[in-house]
Amino acid sequence: MSTPQRHSKGKEKVDEYTDDEAITLINGEASKEATILDTFSENSGTLLNNESPSRVVYNEGSFGGDSHDLPNSNQNTNFNELMEAQMSQLQYNNNRLALDRVISTTIQLLMDLSNENSARSIFYPLSGNLGDDQLKDAKSIRALMRKSTLENLKGNENQGDRDIQRDKSESNNGGLSSAASFNVLNLDIKMIGDSGNLVSNLDQAAISKLLDEKIQSNVKHLFAIRKRIDDTSSKVFVTGDLNSGKSTFCNALLRKKLLPEDQQPCTSVFSEVIDSRENDGLEEVHAVPIGSEYNRKDESTFEVFQLSDLEYLVGDYDKYAILKVYVNDKRPLNRSLLRNGVIDIKLIDAPGLNMDSYQTTEVFSRQEEIDLVVFVVSAENHFTLSAREFITAAAKEKQFIFIVVNKFDSIKNKDRCMKRILSQVQSLSPETHKDARDFVHFVSSSSALGGDGPGDDSGGNDNNGVDDSANPHHDDPDFDHLESSLRKFVLEKRALSKLAPAKNFLIKILSDLEGLSVYNEDLYAADKLKIKEQLDQLIPFYNTQLSENDKINKDVTAMIEAINDDVYQFCKKRIGGTVSKLNEQLADNVALMNSDIYKYANQIQTVMINEILKSIEVAESYAKKKTIEGVNKMKLVGQEALHDESFLKDKVFREDFMFQRKRHHIIKNINREVSLLDFIDPSFDGLLSTFGIRTPSFSGFSLLGRNLSSPSKDLFNWKNSLPLLFLGSSTKFLVTKNLLMGITQYPTVFKVLTSRIFVRLSLASAVALGVYYLVTDMPNAFRRKYSKKLQIQLNDLDYVNNNSMRISKECHLVLQYPAKEISRKFDNLITENFNKKQRLLGELKGMDISIGFYKTFSNRCKDQKKLVESFDLESIYHVD
């Protein structure tokens, strides 16, 4: 059976393989190549079906005849691949925009959380192992909640892990330890203790500040991610063996003979082909000298050349490090590689691999912005040593490489060639081999470019190359397949390298935010219950306190009033009584008449005043006693009402400090002047008393008698007063009395009485008696007159009332202290409870706001997470 031949333009085919080997491969029978076919069938699916032959490489017919023999199939394939590429681009773009939106929403969520954190500190779960006996306080409840939250998070994490298998850089965070509760929101909180219990020495405010810093850093990170995914530029690095057709391949991709091709190795400088829009639409070459850092806007960093100058520029490796080739790709978006509507691809044509350039090329190919490395190998030569080294190194780095087996047109026994090369690829990079349909391509770049072979420029419409717009339907399905694979790969790679990390990060941060939100919501709900319980206890207690306060204030006021009134009445009675009976009360108190009459008067005054002062003292003592009783009673009332046994226990009541100010002294205000008239106060009663007819209530004689019985040298030393010598003894007084009585008993006596002498005598006696009476009554007269005088003065001063008021007022004043203390303490308690109530109500309100916030917040996070999880970044759109 002969191997079908494929038409090829240009050079003569090199027949390296025998037909037999090729038959074995194509028929897919059990043979040593079966594994290769199996591998292909896994990935190529229906494309291996002979009923729909589309590729020369994979079906019998394609090798046997010209691909032009199957125009419909090829056209269908082209159309499908074009559609697939476009759908992939669309899908990529949609995913990118959708991720952009989720990133914006997540940034907003973080900002909202930060604002909430400023208003009310966010609770952050801290690890700890609490025993059952510790589950009664807030901390342990939080610990319990934390545990359940962590379990939730763990569930999310596991889910996330399934979705982020490819995210190597961030998957190391996977799994929740006791110290790291979150994926990206974990705080670096120091742990103390070796039992596994975490004891944070940070207070809530410090944690909240740390958390805010974390939030801000995540916001920054999200901005960076957004910038990264919005960056639409991508670089495809074309390298390979010397003279393998790299420049021709690049030109074929560009559909333009741009880069110089030669049978001799010619490219020794890197050429980066960029869409001219990035150079204000100008087609030119910017040759960047070695050592210069290229900046398009700074002409000192490069030299400008025409595109036609590339011919010699690519060989000037001594001078230039890289050539920036700006070219106008006029093809429609769906065909243009440089600007395809989604990602602007830049092609880098590298010098052929040899030992000199190997290092440079290797380093270049690993640059971060390189999305794809295309390795061009000549079908005529297979892999050289440098090629094998390069591919092996890339495989170790898990770098995907597109292998373009070029100049396939030159091969006569294509199947054998293909088999050989695939076998080599398998040993060099099994991963690439696994997806060989997409990663290994057998093409002819010169045919795709439309020329007849090397050096054929006939397809061009200008000096620099071929404009595809003039030849939109070129006829190389293999190259088309390569191109669409390349586009898809770039998109897929970008989806994986840029969109997938963004997606994974979003899932992680949204999980964290949801977890943190649920944790806070639960915590607030539990705290709310506790606050409600506290309020349920506090409010009735507070109301009772208010009414108790009223009652106690009334009771205490009534108690003070009663004591006040009692003291006032007592004082009035006692002092008033003394004042009103001043004269009567002197009997036992005065030892007088040992001086002259003025001294006597003075003494009487003093005695009287002392009597009054004594009554005041008694009144004040009574008041003190009542005050002590009142204070003690109030202490008890206070202790009971305030439920405080220590109430006023620290205070000592010093009753001896009461009535210290002698405001009751009346001496200054009393008129103590004495005149002779003060000693004369005749009265019939006094007269009778004087002569023993009536017992005197207060007898000057008895006084005289007492004084006479114990005479002193000062006796009757009445200065400026009448001498009472003739009445100086009681004996004389008795004689006189008996004489008078004898006269009345005898007629002779009567005669005598009626005689002139007798009358005169009688008159003289009467006068004498009168004088005697007046003289002996002088002390009584003074006491009577002065007591009245004093009473009048005291009355004028409202002395009794004033003193009673003063004393009772002082009691009132003293009693005010414990009363005020009760009131003050009660007020304090009420204020304290009022404040507590207000604080709790405020907290409750804040909690309601927070609960509402977290409820909405966690739903928003959940929705966003679901949305982002639904983004399919990995599946490539297939059109059947």
Ligand X SMILES: Nc1nc2c(ncn2[C@@H]2O[C@H](COP(=O)(O)OP(=O)(O)OP(=O)(O)O)[C@@H](O)[C@H]2O)c(=O)[nH]1
Which residues form the interface with ligand X (CB under 6 A)? 10-11, 242-248, 261-263, 265-267, 351-352, 406-407, 409-410, 444-446, 453-455
Least distance to ligand X from the beta carbon of 490, Å? 21
244 vs 328 by CB, closer to ligand X: 244
The H-or-E segment that residue 478 falls in is helix 477-494
Task: Answer whether 74's CB lies under 8 Å from 67's CB.
Answer: yes
Instruction: Give the pair of three-digit tokens for residue 534.
Output: 């506290």
Q: What is the DSSP letter of 411?
A: B
Q: What is the DSSP letter of 286?
A: E
Least distance to ligand X from the beta carbon of 317, Å? 11
379 vs 604 by CB, closer to ligand X: 379
Q: How far apart are CA 732 and CA 554, in angstroms?
A: 74
Contacts of 47 (CB under 8 A, 6+ apart): 54, 55, 58, 437
Q: What is the DSSP letter of 375?
A: E
Q: In 10 A of CB 358, how many CB atoms? A: 17
Residue 484 CA: distances (Å) to CA of 81, 438, 845: 6, 9, 61
378 vs 429 by CB, closer to ligand X: 378
Instruction: Give the pair of three-digit tokens for residue 378.
Output: 């000549």
Task: Answer whether 594's CB lies under 8 Å from 707's CB.
Answer: yes
Task: Give the Cα-Cα-Cα angle 119, 124, 125 (nearest 5 degrees).
Answer: 155
Strands 233-240 and 344-349: parallel
241 vs 777 by CB, closer to ligand X: 241
351 vs 460 by CB, closer to ligand X: 351
- For residue 573, with 0-12 CB atoms within 10 Å meaning exposed, 13-18 middle and 19 or more buried, which class applies? middle
271 vs 504 by CB, closer to ligand X: 271
Least distance to ligand X from the beta carbon of 405, Å? 10
84 vs 261 by CB, closer to ligand X: 261
- For residue 236, with 0-12 CB atoms within 10 Å meaning exposed, 13-18 middle and 19 or more buried, which class applies? buried
Sign of CA dihedral 710, 714, 720, 722: positive
Least distance to ligand X from the beta carbon of 351, Å? 6
- Position with the least CB separation from ligand X: 454
Contacts of 216 (CB under 8 A, 6+ apart): 114
128 vs 451 by CB, closer to ligand X: 451
Least distance to ligand X from the beta carbon of 28, Å? 28
Least distance to ligand X from the beta carbon of 248, Å? 3
**Which residue shows structure tokens 């006939």?**
458
449 vs 582 by CB, closer to ligand X: 449
Least distance to ligand X from the beta carbon of 497, Å? 27
102 vs 466 by CB, closer to ligand X: 466
78 vs 446 by CB, closer to ligand X: 446
Strands 320-327 and 270-275: parallel
8 vs 808 by CB, closer to ligand X: 8
Task: Answer whether 577's CB lies under 8 Å from 791's CB.
Answer: no
Q: Could you report how far apart the first and last alpha carbons of the chain are, in Å?
A: 32
Task: Answer whether 672's CB lies under 8 Å from 682's CB.
Answer: no
Least distance to ligand X from the beta carbon of 406, Å? 5
Least distance to ligand X from the beta carbon of 171, Å? 39
3-state secondary structure 229-269: HHCCEEEEEEEEECCCCHHHHHHHHHCCCCCCCCCCCCCCC
Residue 494 corresponds to which amino acid?
Answer: R
Least distance to ligand X from the beta carbon of 70, Å? 21
Q: In 10 A of CB 175, how many CB atoms? A: 12
190 vs 319 by CB, closer to ligand X: 319
Least distance to ligand X from the beta carbon of 233, Å? 24
Least distance to ligand X from the beta carbon of 307, Å? 16
Collapsed DSSP state (helix, strand, coil) of residue 293: coil
According to DSSP, the residues that pair with 436 across neighbouring strands are none
